[in-house]
Amino acid sequence: MMKSEIAKRLEELKKALYEHNYRYFVLDDPIISDAEYDRLLKELSEIENAYPELVTLDSPTHRLGGLAAEKFEQARHSLPMLSLDNAFDTGDIHDFHQRIMKFLENSKDRILFTAEPKLDGVALELIYEKGILVKALTRGDGETGEVITANVKTIRNIPLKLQTSEESIPELLEVRGEAVMDKAAFENLNKYRLEEGQPLFANPRNATAGSLRQLDPSVTSGRRLSFYAYGVGIHEGAGFSSQIDMLKYIADAGFMVNPFIKGRISVDEVIEVYNDLLEKRPGLPYEIDGMVVKVDDFRLQAELGIKAKSPRWAIAWKFPSIQETTKILDIKVQVGRTGAITPVAFLDPVNIGGVMVSRASLHNADEIKRKDIRIGDTVFVERAGDVIPRVVKVVETLRNGSEILFEMPETCPECGGEVFQDKDEAVLRCVNVSCPAVVKEGIIHFAAKDSFDIKGLGESLVERLLESGLIKSAADLFVLDIEKLAALERMGVKSAQNIIKAIESKKTIEAWRFINSLGIRHIGQQTAVLLSEKYPDIQMLFKALPDELEKIEGIGPVAAESIAFFFHNPLNKAEIEKLFSYGVVLKKPEIKAAQGKFSGKTFVLTGTLPVMSRDEAKKLIESSGGKVTGSVSSKTDYVVAGESPGSKLDKANQLGIKVLGEEELIELLK
């Protein structure tokens, strides 16, 4: 055969395999046998081996799994993959509806929703350029994810090439959805691991995550995963105006879309769909933990906009947590990094929703007293939000008189020091800043992902470092002696070198991470970011007063008092200075485009921009120092109006705000 004929045959095979793959894994309607499919795939593989120059990114042979990687690269999402606020009952859904109505009070549109099963798996983003799958990312922290393209290509119901006609293939399409392992595949996988003496996965979600994070794609290929698409990121050349239209578009492009999704429904119908899904839940082949409710109209979604971490136009309505009964074998207390002494129930292990639960926090003495919890009680336990185990109530009728009342300790169980309870708190605390448990938990927090992110420095190693006397505080990590570290039990020279290398690599750190690492009470990641932006020189925080801190939007009086108390403590100041003396350096904040021509100016975008997308316009405005918000107010400087602008344009005209067309914006941007 001539090479042109071989190339033609190769394209015929690819097209046939695309079609059969789609019919089998998406439509569940195969028209050829597995043996025939394997013969076609074998023929394609033989041609590609003989003519490697004809191999393309969308070849079905890529599903077989490629070479193992040494590690996963990371990449930023073009648009953040936001988390969702939670609802737990019909009241929360009605409140969500009322908030939307109030926000869109000037809109004459009827608010309709889509209701989608919330699959319990791993969120992914698939990036298609000119119709070809070129990159796949995990959600990660919402801003940055891990690149797992080779592994994702092994998932059979993900199209390697979009099934749209050549003339309508989008330039860029980012498809988002959930990778899941069905219940039967999960049971078979755990059965195999049990036979092989390997540790079992706790639930299908963990099995999915573990399968996707295999450095060897051939391992992922052997796991039966599926992907259900539910959204898009950037889409250039793909037109749709609502959630349900978008789902139809991506279904037509070859993606599996959940068949239980209901679109363009009222809030009352949303509640009906939820009750129906709740009833169907036990019989579904995959795990779901709730339902996602979204405003259907994309124009209204854009008008509603987003908050700090979540969109205003969507909410996750969680199912009631699965409950089981078990017995409290003992109650012990644990001391946290802030000195908080927390009672913990040690349980007769019980399987709740696929997870073995053996302990549950009892929070504080008031909680134990309110629920009358005793050692030896039979109790209802649930995974709150399907994650955190908690004791719901005691089954008093099963008491036999052998149950034991629990009393909180009068001294710290770790150091024997004084304990104290603030009149405004239910929590008992150890006041000894040198308490071994406080120090240990503080160092674990210091090295955690949202702090210094020191790989390999887990709880076990921190305990050994403290017990051996190699460190007494977090700052001592930066002056560890490699020979003494290598001499620790279960360590060795190579492991010690890796730990030292990991610590050294983190000496230069973003200011917000540094502030977060300090473990200040009531201060989390978001507040740390606010502080780092307000006080680029951390020395300024040593002088900051509560009244001054409380003026920062997002910081309340309790947090302000806690921050000031921490930084005015000479012991804390000395520890921070020690860190700097050991070589820790705060990264200089990036120079933001606030110095651009639009510095201090606020824009609102409305309607469809025919030349550039609204996302592109937003990025260009922000790169010139401007700020883009979702609603028009007296503080808005410009409204950029495209085609079909809607109520935002009316409001701009009412308030006398300058309105720009797209051409005028482009002219200003030059």
The answer, yes or no, to whether residue 328 has pLDDT greater than 90, is yes
Is residue 74 within 8 Å of 298, Cβ to Cβ? no
Give the pLDDT confidence score for residue 642 in this predicted structure. Answer: 79
Stretch 84-98: mean pLDDT, rounded?
Answer: 91
In one letter, which amino acid is 430? C
Using alpha carbons, select from 529, 563, 528 the residue that is nearest to residue 546. Answer: 563
| Distances 235 to 1, 239, 246 between C-alpha atoms, Å | 41, 8, 11
Give the pLDDT confidence score for residue 628 in this predicted structure. Answer: 77
Stretch 399-417: mean pLDDT, rounded?
Answer: 90
DSSP 8-class letter at 587: P
> Cα 665 vs. chain centroid, distance in angstroms?
35
Side by side, the strands of the sheet bearing 314-318 are: 86-87, 314-318, 288-295, 113-119, 262-265
| Distances 479 to 450, 488, 499, 510, 631 between C-alpha atoms, Å | 22, 16, 12, 20, 52
Give the pLDDT confidence score for residue 554 in this predicted structure. Answer: 65
Q: What tokens does 457 get?
A: 């420095």
Stretch 554-565: mean pLDDT, rounded?
Answer: 84
> Cα 176 vs. chain centroid, distance in angstroms?
13
Q: Tens digit of pLDDT for each residue in 337-391?
A: 788 899 999 999 988 866 788 999 898 888 898 889 999 999 988 876 556 788 8
Q: Tens digit of pLDDT for each residue in 484-508?
A: 888 888 788 888 898 999 999 999 9
- Region of 79 please: left (phi>0), alpha (psi -120 to 50) or beta: beta
Give the pLDDT confidence score for residue 590 in this predicted structure. Answer: 55
Q: Tens digit of pLDDT for each residue in 415-458?
A: 887 888 877 677 888 877 678 888 888 899 999 888 999 988 88
β-bridge mates for residue 500, sequence order: none
Helix (H) or strand (E) holding 232: strand 225-236
The answer, yes or no, to whether residue 397 has pLDDT greater than 60, is yes
Instruction: Name the residue with higher pLDDT: 351 or 613.
Output: 351
Stretch 168-173: mean pLDDT, rounded?
Answer: 91
- What percentage of the chain exceeds 70 in pLDDT? 92
Stretch 116-125: mean pLDDT, rounded?
Answer: 94
pLDDT band at 68 (very low <50, low <70, confident <90, very high): low
Give the pLDDT confidence score for residue 29 in this predicted structure. Answer: 67
DSSP string of 280-325, one letter each residue: HGGGSSS-EEEEEEEESBHHHHHHH-B-SSSBTTEEEEEPPPPEEE
Give the pLDDT confidence score for residue 366 in this predicted structure. Answer: 87
Is 118 considered catalytic here?
yes
The answer, yes or no, to whether residue 593 has pLDDT greater than 50, is no
* φ, ψ dihedrals at 113, nearest 5°: -130, 165
Residue 83 CB-density burial (10 A; 0-12 exposed, 13-18 middle, 19+ buried)? middle
Stretch 554-570: mean pLDDT, rounded?
Answer: 85
> Cα 109 vs. chain centroid, distance in angstroms?
32
Stretch 190-213: mean pLDDT, rounded?
Answer: 81
The answer, yes or no, to whether residue 622 has pLDDT greater than 80, is no
Give the pLDDT confidence score for residue 259 in this predicted structure. Answer: 93
Single out the catalytic residue among 3, 15, 108, 118. Answer: 118
Give the pLDDT confidence score for residue 595 in this predicted structure. Answer: 61
CA distance 277 to 290: 8
Three-state DSSP class for residue 442: helix
* Mean pLDDT estimate for the chain: 85
- Please report the domains of the chain, with CATH numbers, ordered by start residue: 3-48 (1.10.287.610), 86-318 (3.30.470.30), 323-421 (2.40.50.140), 507-590 (1.10.150.20), 593-669 (3.40.50.10190)
The answer, yes or no, to whether residue 589 has pLDDT greater than 80, is no
Using alpha carbons, select from 260, 307, 259, 278 the residue that is nearest to residue 90. Answer: 278
pLDDT band at 64 (very low <50, low <70, confident <90, very high): low
CA distance 538 to 543: 10
Stretch 195-206: mean pLDDT, rounded?
Answer: 76
Which of 24-33, 374-383, 617-626 ranks highest by mean pLDDT?
374-383
Residue 450 CB partners (closer than 8 Å, separation 6+): 513, 516, 525
In the block, tokens 């034991």 appear at: 404
Alpha helices in 58-197 (DSSP H): 90-103, 149-152, 183-195
The answer, yes or no, to whether residue 298 has pLDDT greater than 70, is yes
The answer, yes or no, to whether residue 34 has pLDDT greater than 90, is no
Q: Tens digit of pLDDT for each residue in 526-543?
A: 788 888 888 888 888 998
In the block, tokens 């040494």 appear at: 70
Helix (H) or strand (E) holding 350: strand 340-352
Residue 176 CB partners (closer than 8 Å, separation 6+): 81, 123, 124, 125, 126, 229, 230, 231, 232, 233
pTM: 0.54
Is residue 128 within 8 Å of 173, Cβ to Cβ? yes
| Distances 485 to 227, 456, 480, 546 between C-alpha atoms, Å | 45, 13, 7, 42
The answer, yes or no, to whether residue 553 has pLDDT greater than 70, is no
Give the pLDDT confidence score for residue 309 in this predicted structure. Answer: 73
The answer, yes or no, to whether residue 104 has pLDDT greater than 70, is yes
Q: Tens digit of pLDDT for each residue in 130-157?
A: 999 999 999 987 888 999 999 999 998 9
The answer, yes or no, to whether residue 592 has pLDDT greater than 90, is no
* φ, ψ dihedrals at 128, nearest 5°: -110, 125
Within 10 angstroms of residue 15's Cβ, the number of other Cβ atoms is 12
